[in-house]
Copies of this chain bind each other. A is one copy, B any other.
Amino acid sequence: MPKRENISMSVIRRLPRYYRFLNQLKRDGVTRISSTELSAKLGLTASQIRQDLNCFGGFGQQGYGYIVEQLAAEIGRILGVAHNYRTVLFGAGNLGRAIAAHMDFEELGFELIGIFDNAPQKVGTVIRGMEVLNTASFEDFCKDNKPEMAALCIPRTAVEATVDRLYPLGIHSYWNFSHYDITMKYPDAVVENVHLNDSLLTLCYRISNNPEASHEPTKK
């Protein structure tokens, strides 16, 4: 296996996009592509794409380009999509239910094996054909199922106690939708944050500071 020592987050965050595009090309029946063609479709430079890919190995062929199917497979392997990490979801509120129902966990390297909530009125309800379990039973659940990742769709105030409980059970990876900063207390944890509030605020900033802003319908 190739180099891959100190890949920067900038590179890592581009990989899913490459993966998505290549799979689309594959479905469209495209068999080969050059970095220049790919860069036009993605709005990047060809140089950057070649640099990014060469962090992991030489997947192309001089004078020819890249074989779409092969490159998609390589990136899939790099991302680890075949791992199917056993995943539990904490929080069956609006957001948790949407995430459970909406995400294609299986295509993205994860397998959703359990949904947990504290609230008695949520326990027993069914999401995506899966019964919401009581958080109280989580230790028992772990004995049989050994989850590896937890998606946290719970309030900020509940996250610390939840991670304190999950971390010693071997769950060291978190997809975190709250603004609680898990890595402050658990620097070894692998944490991916989704900060919807921050995302919306940056949009607000950019609307407010957009010189093009017209806020007026196009005149006919």
Contacts and interface: CB of A to CB of B under 8 A. Distances in A.
A220 to B, nearest CB: 9
Task: Please state the number of chain copies in the assembly.
Answer: 2
B207 A108 contact: no
B203 A13 contact: no
A57 interface: no
Interface stretch (A62-70, A113-121, A129-137, A187-195): A187-195
Contact of A203 (B93, B99, B175, B205): B175
B200 A109 contact: yes
Nearest to A96: B98
Interface string A178-219: 010100100010101011111111111111111011111110
Given A16-B198, A201-B81, A170 B218 contact: yes
Interface in A41-100: 43, 78-81, 83, 85, 93-95, 97-99
Nearest to A127: B94
B83 A207 contact: yes
Contacts of A208: 79-80, 83, 109
Interface residues of A, number: 72
| Residue among A19, A101, A192 with the highest chain B CB neighbour number at 10 A | A192
Contacts of A194: 194, 196, 199
A4 interface: yes
Contact of A97 (B19, B94, B175): B94
A103 interface: yes
A158 interface: no
A82 to B, nearest CB: 9
Contact of A170 (B43, B173, B207, B217): B217
A80 to B, nearest CB: 3
Contacts of A215: 146, 148, 170, 172
A205 to B, nearest CB: 5
